[in-house]
């Protein structure tokens, strides 16, 4: 398959099951809602070392939030429910409770509930007050700028992590420009996040390493500087490869995000230095969800 001069490899991205939740952060204005959201989703690029993968889904207008203020929707993904609950609680307490004028609400419904403000209430040292509205419990926690309002719980749902595609280009600036165009398009899609810095990862990995203490290492087949030293997957004219990783609530959500992202890359085309689009997989052994690039773009 060739689109606008860009070869789409006959391969697939391999993804795996995760648990996910969504929370809504509101504040006095969008600036402070975003500050809290950025802090809450920091150091959350990969479960390899961060414990979770998290990101900002989108900015919310006041008519979309529970308290009628500016808001930001954030999503957190983890390998299991216990780890997800721990990450949510820790990040909420250290990054949202501490942020001026913030409030925190559930962003997803599910029969499985995990604590949001349920345990944070103890910070109130006995002065906290419970409020039940329309069957939902909220906690009002006294803090120095007034009070922190937090919904008691949010939902936990099944999700998918590790959807991805690789952009192979003739230069580093061209690869990055293509990824930036892809991320801009993908951020308009619901129910997904791209957890790496700016949505892009330059250090794509493979499973395993020559060093026994590491369970992942550099994807040498796609490293331009290793063309003569390893079994490369790169032609001589490819000098830069970057990857976009997608976590989503469903296979359809990731399909849609990959489609618009890859199309944005193809729209730039060979005239802008884009040679190929490929994907990271491990022969189908890592995860049960397979995203075939050519099928998505067909």
Say whether both 213 and 260 belong to one domain.
yes
Asked if 139 and 254 sit in the same domain, the reply is no
pTM more than 0.85: yes
56-107 residue pLDDT tens: 999 999 999 999 999 999 999 999 999 999 999 999 999 999 999 999 999 9
pLDDT confidence of 54, banded at 50, 70, 90? very high
pLDDT at 282: 80
Q: What is the mean pLDDT of residues 139-152?
A: 98
Q: Are residues 81 and 45 in the same domain?
A: yes
Contact 181, 264 (CB under 8 A): yes
pLDDT at 143 (0 to 100):
98
In total, how many domains does the chain have?
2
pLDDT of residue 144: 98
Look at residue 28 in the predicted model and tell me its pLDDT: 98
Which one of 157, 185, 209 terminates a domain? 157
CATH at 136: 3.30.70.520
Look at residue 131 and tell me whether its pLDDT is greater than 90: yes
Q: Is the pLDDT of residue 285 over 80?
A: no
Residue range(s) defining the domain that contains residue 292? 2-14+160-297
Domain boundary among 157, 183, 198: 157
Q: Bridge-partner residues for 148, per DSSP?
A: 141
How confident is the model over 5-48, as pLDDT tens digits? 999 999 999 999 999 999 999 999 999 999 999 999 999 999 99
Overall average pLDDT of the 105-126 stretch: 98
Please give the sequence-ordered ranges of beta strands (E in DSSP) within the chain, or none if there are none. 2-3, 6-8, 12-27, 53-60, 70-78, 103-106, 113-115, 129-133, 136-143, 146-151, 153-155, 157-169, 192-193, 205-207, 216-218, 240-248, 274-278, 289-292
Of 96, 127, 157, the position where a domain reaches its end is 157
**pLDDT given at position 254:** 98
Structure-model confidence comparison of residues 285 and 168, the more confident one: 168
124 and 174 co-located in one domain:
no
Two tokens at 167? Answer: 């952009």
Task: Compute the distance between CA of residue 181 and CA of residue 189 in angstroms, rounded to an integer.
Answer: 14
Is residue 252 located within the same domain as residue 269? yes
Residue in the structure block whose two tokens are 């809290």: 36
Residues 192 and 144 in one domain: no
Query: Residue 239 and residue 138: Cα distance in Å, rounded?
Result: 53
Task: Answer yes or no: do 148 and 187 share one domain.
Answer: no
- Claim to verify: residue 122 and residue 64 sit in the same structural domain: yes
The answer to whether residues 161 and 247 touch, using CB atoms and an 8 Å cutoff, is yes
- Residue 285 sits in the same domain as residue 193: yes
- pLDDT the model gives residue 180: 98
> Do residue 196 and residue 134 come from a single domain?
no
Question: Does 188 lie in the same domain as 140?
Answer: no
Q: What is the chain's mean pLDDT, rounded?
A: 97
Q: What is the DSSP letter of 125?
A: T
**What's the mean pLDDT in 183-198?**
98
Is the domain of 7 the same as that of 34? no
Structure tokens at 197: 């810095």
């Amino acid at each position: 398959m060739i689109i606008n001069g860009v070869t789409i490899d006959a391969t697939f991205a391999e993804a795996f099951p995760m648990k996910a939740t969504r929370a809504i952060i509101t504040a006095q204005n969008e600036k402070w809602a975003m500050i809290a959201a950025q802090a809450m989703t920091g150091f959350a690029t990969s479960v390899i070392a961060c414990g979770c993968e998290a990101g900002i889904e989108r900015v919310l207008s006041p008519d979309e939030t529970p308290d009628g203020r500016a808001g930001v929707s954030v999503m957190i993904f983890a390998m299991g429910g216990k780890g997800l609950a721990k990450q949510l609680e820790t990040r909420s307490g250290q990054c949202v409770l501490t942020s001026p004028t913030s409030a925190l609400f559930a962003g997803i419904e599910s029969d499985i509930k995990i604590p949001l403000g349920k345990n944070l209430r103890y910070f109130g040292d006995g002065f906290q007050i419970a409020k039940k509205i329309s069957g939902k419990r909220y906690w009002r926690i006294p803090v120095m700028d007034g009070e922190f309002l937090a919904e008691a719980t949010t939902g936990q749902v099944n999700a998918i992590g590790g959807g991805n595609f690789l952009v192979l280009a003739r230069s580093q600036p061209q690869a990055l420009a293509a990824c930036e165009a892809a991320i801009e398009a993908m951020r308009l899609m619901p129910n997904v996040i791209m957890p790496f810095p700016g949505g892009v990862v330059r250090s794509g990995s493979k499973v395993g390493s020559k060093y026994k203490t590491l369970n992942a290492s550099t994807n040498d087949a796609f490293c331009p500087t290793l063309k003569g030293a390893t079994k490369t997957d790169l032609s001589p004219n490819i000098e830069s490869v970057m990857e976009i990783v997608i976590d989503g609530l469903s296979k359809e959500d990731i399909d849609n995000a990959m489609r618009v992202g890859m199309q944005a890359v193809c729209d730039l085309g060979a005239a802008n230095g884009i040679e190929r689009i490929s994907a990271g997989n491990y022969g189908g052994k890592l995860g049960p969800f397979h995203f075939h690039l050519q099928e998505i773009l067909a």
